[in-house]
Structure 1
């Protein structure tokens, strides 16, 4: 498997604070956080981690992409049942395996597909990119493999299979942590081998000094971690600018 199932490391990190510029709307029956200029012909589908679209971390990242000229849609993948932000000492009470059982591929993928279909109908974008963090990375990979989006960006992926990566031939950027039991060295190497064999345009950057979740839940008071998060974001922006036409 190119990345392993989620674990407790998917629940750790720091909640980010700050004013947001987007809004929560009903998007064709799916609650979503949206940000940016609706007239933009470049749209990003933002597929979240297990904390969902209501966590400020996801909203602030969506606003950052919107500030680069994209219209960003962050759908609720979990029907109002995202994992609540939980203090570290209470992580054992979250019940992650049971939660994952309720929010399987068969439940989440139809939501992603529905939102993507409406994006294409509503905005007729010249190109569509998708960004996925942790759990959300799996769905970006699947959309790329089915050629339903043009460009993908993922960070510290989980639940991605080799078979899913085998189907990816469209541009993909991966941001990885050096220390990550979900996407360790051997999985990164295997992913690179598959993408190279496919002739895919890809970029994999590994950031030292950070762990799984860094691209969206890093502690901004730690200089090396803050640097990694910011570099990962701007690398995604640069990749989109190159390949989203």
Structure 2
């Protein structure tokens, strides 16, 4: 494990850098220095991948707080999102992906995105810049972005999620089915938005869902990386 720098993009990396199978981990709004994100990177690396986790926010990630507090107005999320829109964040994602391809000549690139990061996984998958995508409790993914997806995608969803709602899940599944995409959607009962990256360790149901979501993504990546 070490820290690296990609043309001023601070990056957490984990695993054997000679590995040609890469996972590009695109974080939620709490960023790449959050221990949860780094532990996930280490877990993926332990499964035989080289994992790259960039700072999407130029040092301006949201300080950690429970999702209920964030959603309940404990932070001015609207203003923050206005500073980190598509036009700002996507160039960072594209820059890091460019370095991944240039520096490592990978045979496989999978990307996993949590909450905020899921949108960029879907966009990369839709433009066929990665091989496989995984998203957990996605935020702000437009139907038009899903419409472009035909490559393999696995979705880990929370039963209770004000952002990726039941209607949103159903619409996403309908689009992927229409596209004849290879996809997998699992809904975990008894958990809320954020469970796959920052679930409460004192909640057994949450920890079960978090672990199942992780290993399901690993299995999905392994199958398509053959």
TM-score norm. by structure 2 comes to 0.96
Among residues 133, 136, 154, which one is paired with 2:114 in the alignment? 133
Alignment of 1:87-106 (within 5 A): 91=70, 92-106=73-87
**Partner Cα separation in structure 2 for residue 46 and residue 84 of structure 1:** 19
Q: C-alpha displacement at 1:234, in angstroms?
A: 0.2
TM-score norm. by structure 1 comes to 0.89
Among residues 20, 24, 28, which one is paired with 1:49 in the alignment? 28
Instruction: State the aligned residue count.
Output: 224
Alignment of 1:1-245 (within 5 A): 22-86=1-65, 91=70, 92-245=73-226
Any idea what the Cα deviations from partners look like across 1:78-136, whole Å, max 9, x if unmatched?
A: 00000011368964342110000000000000000000011000110001000000000
Closer, same or farther: CA 90–191 of 1 in aligned 2, 3 Å = closer
**Partner Cα separation in structure 1 for residue 146 and residue 69 of structure 2:** 35
Closer, same or farther: CA 167–89 of 1 in aligned 2, 3 Å = closer
Is 72-81 or 88-97 further displaced after alignment? 88-97
**Structure with the larger RCO, 1 or 2 (CA within 8 Å, 6+ apart):** 1
Q: C-alpha displacement at 1:138, in angstroms?
A: 0.0
Is 132-141 or 27-36 further displaced after alignment? 27-36
Unpaired segments of 5 or more residues in structure 1? 1-21
Closer, same or farther: CA 146–89 of 1 in aligned 2, 3 Å = closer
- Counterpart secondary structure, 1:174: strand
- Counterpart secondary structure, 1:231: helix
Q: C-alpha displacement at 1:73, in angstroms?
A: 0.4
Residues 14 and 42 in structure 2, CA contact (< 8 A), matched pair in contact too: yes
**Partner Cα separation in structure 2 for residue 153 and residue 141 of structure 1:** 8
Query: Could you list the runs of 4 or more consecutive aligned residues of structure 1 that deviate by over 6 angstroms after TM superposition?
Result: 87-90
Residues 28 and 118 in structure 1, CA contact (< 8 A), matched pair in contact too: no
**Partner Cα separation in structure 2 for residue 214 and residue 230 of structure 1:** 10
**Partner Cα separation in structure 1 for residue 205 and residue 68 of structure 2:** 25
Residues 67 and 193 in structure 2, CA contact (< 8 A), matched pair in contact too: no
- Counterpart secondary structure, 2:197: helix
**Partner Cα separation in structure 1 for residue 204 and residue 68 of structure 2:** 24
